[in-house]
Amino acid sequence: VGQDYEQDDEPRKPLLTSLSTIFTIAFISYYVQYPSLSSQSGIEPCTRVFRHVYPNLFETLIEKGCVDVDSFVELICLVGIVISTVVASGLVQHGLLFITISAMYRLLYTLGGSFYTFQWDILLLEAGYLTALCFAPWKSLRLDRNKQSEGTDNLGVWSLRFLQFKLMLMSGVVKIQAECPTWQNLTALEYHFATQCLPGPLEWHAHQLHPFLLRLGVAATFVIEIPAAYLLICPIASIRKVGAWLQILLQVLIIATGNYNFFNLFTIALCMPCMMGERDDISAGTRRTLQAAAISFLGYWSFHMFELYQDYHPIDKEKRIFGLKLTLSKDDCNLMIEKTVTASVAVVLLALLSDAIQLILREPLIHRRLSALAKLTVCSFCVIATATPLYSITLSMQQPDVFRRLLQAIPHKNFIQSSGYGLFRRMTGVGRVTKLPNAQSFGWANNSPSLVSRPEIIVEAVIVDNDDSSPDEQNTEWRELKFRWKPGATTSWPRQVAPHQPRFDWRMWFAALGSYHHNPWLISFLDRSLDGCQVVLGLLDEPALASGKSRNIKVRALLYEYDFTRLDTQWARGIPGAKILQEQSLWSFPDEVWTRKLAREYIPSIEKNNPSVRQYLQQTGLDSSACRGHKDRCVHVPTKAKPFCNFAVTVRRWNRPCVLATLVLALCLMYKWMTNSCSRGMKRKVKVD
């Protein structure tokens, strides 16, 4: 139902290229981590999920011996890398290819288990299917087609604009609905930089900023995520651009102070449809007037959402303090949502109808008019399906009957992965201030001190050389194991890892918020490490263990509470237990970046072949087969499946999926350059003749 008329595809190329690049990153990241996480020797083998969710596929391919599970998953990743790289090169950007890579990533997402339960994975799937159905071209493969158009099709962009609107609106609303004190008091950023899953290299510096700047940042986040989100679906392009640029600004700041894999780059890419559709006949003065109206709209909402107040200093009563507080309550927010969600859907549907009518009146050929009507139908249905989670924001809001009957009549869940979103609903790592030690202990603007208490799991082990055939069983010299990305030693600076997402380190952050009883994969990791499984030990920054030179004979896990060290400032001195650094500035990189204290034992000492551990893993379905390396992986594979297994093992030995993507991209670009050169040569020859 895609494009059925010649047009200039240039406005669409950046978005199609960006989305396919994000898919490439996602496939590469999955491929790199698969052996450690979900393979037969990994922490959470995917065989059980594969058999349960895709029984027919499992029976056809796996049980009949056509291919083994690990080779099948790795081949899916490799094919996904190749296809998404070809699409990213611009050589071929057909809608069928987007359906293919979306379906492939959905399969990988399902097999990934608990390590792939993040919202950006679902968002990538939802955007992939919407792009395939509504935005990508279908008439031709567009092998370097450079034909100019007589008009631009704006129908498909509305589904992606609405997806971006839903993402940002729900992300902002859930923060108010949660009634988290840090969001209500606008102090969330005073905890966020130290408590996010994987801090980056600039988080320590951002953590030292003045509390008033941080609270202004929280207020700006609310404005950008809630009222500015409505600008994204405005039919007027000049107003949409204001909302889009604000979203881009927010995402750039998050990229600078966070490690959120490809999510922020992906969100920026979803702003591109909001930039499209600018009319050429609008004067510069009119554009400035419309942009001023959009800014005035945001100013109006800011005035009603926040209040600037003044108070007296708790020590010096003659000194006044200015502060900022949120005045938008949960009930007011719910009322606003109930009044605007259906109206927002109606605005988008009317805009779709308006663009379709203009397109139909402009097209002289009947089959192109029918194509426009078909695309209007598909895009309208996609918008209605995408809007479904918005009606669950409040308990009293119901989806219109006409929408509900339409969605029930058409089985859409197989090709539209509609989902709700809501990042950072509640701020974690908030310490409890039970008693202020002295009169100087107070937070800025008379709020409670921003005491950070980031829970962090530290794994310790008793390590012996592998050459030691009879290690001392009484050895109790525990040594902390180093992880590649998550916080550990107090002197280890946070590292930049995005757009890659180390799923294991991320899950360790979530596990620290609860009990190991709710995280059986962590017990599986410890058990695998005792078995000396190299693919699992590769998750650690322990070369001796990963290479087999040393081994663990005992492991345990302790829970610590972390916080960043602080510069010597008035508000930092008021935080109980804060470690103040003397003679350091905001631009310095101190030797000690963290401070920590032991909270409790998280997992008691475990030894190899512990019967209680094995019984627990059997009960949770994680008692997998013996750990195998790459060399002997194909030994027990059926004869019919050995060629696929040998190929997958050979590629795995390279361990360079980025090289594969770069090679494919280079070949595609070389082909485009050659075809363009030939085309220009033919045109010059025709002119000479």
Residue 20 to residue 28: CA distance in whole angstroms? 12
Residue 418 to residue 416: CA distance in whole angstroms? 6
Q: What is the mean pLDDT of the chain?
A: 85
Tell me, what's the pLDDT at 144? 43
What percentage of residues in the chain have a pLDDT greater than 70? 86
More confident residue, 111 or 418: 111
Give mean pLDDT, residues 590-618: 91
Tell me, what's the pLDDT at 413? 62
Burial of residue 581 (number of CB atoms within 10 Å: 0-12, 13-18, 19+): buried
Query: Residue 509 corresponds to which tokens in the numbers above?
Result: 């952050």
Euclidean distance between the first and the last CA atom of the chain, given in angstroms as a whole number: 42
Q: Are 656 and 81 in contact (CB under 8 A)?
A: no
For residue 282, name the pLDDT band (cuts at 50, 70, 90).
confident
Q: Are 57 and 294 in contact (CB under 8 A)?
A: no
**What 8-state DSSP symbol labels residue 569?**
-
Tell me, what's the pLDDT at 149? 38
Residue 88 to residue 102: CA distance in whole angstroms? 14
Give mean pLDDT, residues 1-6: 34
Tell me, what's the pLDDT at 369? 84
Tell me, what's the pLDDT at 407? 78
425-436 pLDDT, tens digit per residue, is 889 988 876 655
The residue whose two tokens read 């800011």 is 302
318-334 pLDDT, tens digit per residue, is 667 777 889 999 999 99
pTM above 0.75, yes or no: yes
Classified as helix, coil or strand, 150 is: coil
Residue 132 to residue 138: CA distance in whole angstroms? 9
Asked if the model's pLDDT at residue 689 lies above 70, the reply is: no
Tell me, what's the pLDDT at 6? 34
Cis peptide before 499 (omega within 30 of 0): yes
Residue 365 to residue 387: CA distance in whole angstroms? 33
Tell me, what's the pLDDT at 151? 38
The residue whose two tokens read 């979803």 is 270
Query: Any bridge partners for residue 580, and if so which?
Result: 566
Residue 551 to residue 464: CA distance in whole angstroms? 6
- Angle of the 119-130 helix axis to the 95-111 helix axis, nearest 10: 160
